[in-house]
Amino acid sequence: MPVAGIDVGSLSTEVVILHEGKIAAAVMLPTGANSRTAANRAMEQALSQSGFTLDALENVVATGYGRVSVPFAHAKVTEITCHGRGAHFLDPEVRTVIDIGGQDSKVICLNKQGKVVDFLMNDKCAAGTGRFLEVMCQALEVGLADFSRLALITVEAVPISSMCTVFAESEVISLIADGYPREKIIRGIIASIVERTEAMAGRIGVVEKVMMTGGVAKNRGVVEALQDALGVRIALPEDPQLVGALGAALLAQDGQQGRTTMSL
């Protein structure tokens, strides 16, 4: 029987449907202002893609900050557990998962069985997250793709002293006004993200193999700078934003949660 995992994040919502151990559908949509609406839309598209109906799903596990808003979920599981489960499925040798999502960042330690044994999470401030990058791109008037491209032009960085998103935005605007090249400002922004992540990793300890998940893993500049800072190679999934939903679907497949009445 098919199962599904749904990850409702602050910036995007993902759904993965599994059937007979294989991915039957994978959908990612912007979350927007309403988590419940985003969950419904993403599930509807995933069901259309897979050819299944909602009633046909044996089990649905929701994760992410908006998991409480998913009306058709049988169970709600933390994203820490789901990212760990998804990362282990993709590569059983992974022992450390660095997840930088839309509004928080996490460093997760796994054992050989893929179970979470320790973690650190920053969910008190948007600094160093996808939202932080989004705001910086707006201040620089560049898209995320150009942000990543410009980051690779130079290794010189203009230091960004503030870690607060609001103050960092003002600082970036001032640096632009002072004539600093955008690529050097971007390197400074990346350095601030890496510094924050490195501090978390240092507190918990990094054991190889390391995998990075979440939307920020798509930013090559951030990944390369983080590799240099930690002194390790970072493995990247084909689509790092789907790992949480994949992990949720795998937990649903494991049959760890019971079936209840669903409605969309």
Predicted confidence at residue 167, as pLDDT, reads 86
pLDDT digits (tens, 9 = 90+) for 65-101: 899 999 999 999 999 999 999 999 999 999 999 999 8
Task: Report the interhelical angle of 220-230 vs 144-151 (nearest 10°).
Answer: 40
Per-residue confidence (pLDDT) for residue 264, from 0 to 100? 44
- The pLDDT tens digits of the residues spanning 179-231 come to 999 999 999 999 988 988 999 999 999 999 999 999 899 989 899 999 999 99
User: How high does pLDDT run on average in the chain?
Assistant: 91
pLDDT grade, residue 126 (50/70/90)?
A: low
Place of tokens 């995992």: 5
Q: How far apart are CA 255 and CA 258, in angstroms?
A: 7
Q: What tens digit of pLDDT does each residue of 140-166 get?
A: 999 888 888 898 888 889 988 877 788
Helix, strand or coil for residue 66? coil
Whether 82 and 71 have beta carbons less than 8 Å apart is answered as no
Instruction: Using pLDDT thresholds of 50, 70 and 90, give the confidence band for residue 257.
Output: very low
Return the beta strands (E) in 3-44 as ranges.
3-8, 12-19, 22-30
Tokens of 77: 């599981």
Distance of alpha carbon 73 from the chain centroid? 20
The predicted model scores a pTM of 0.89
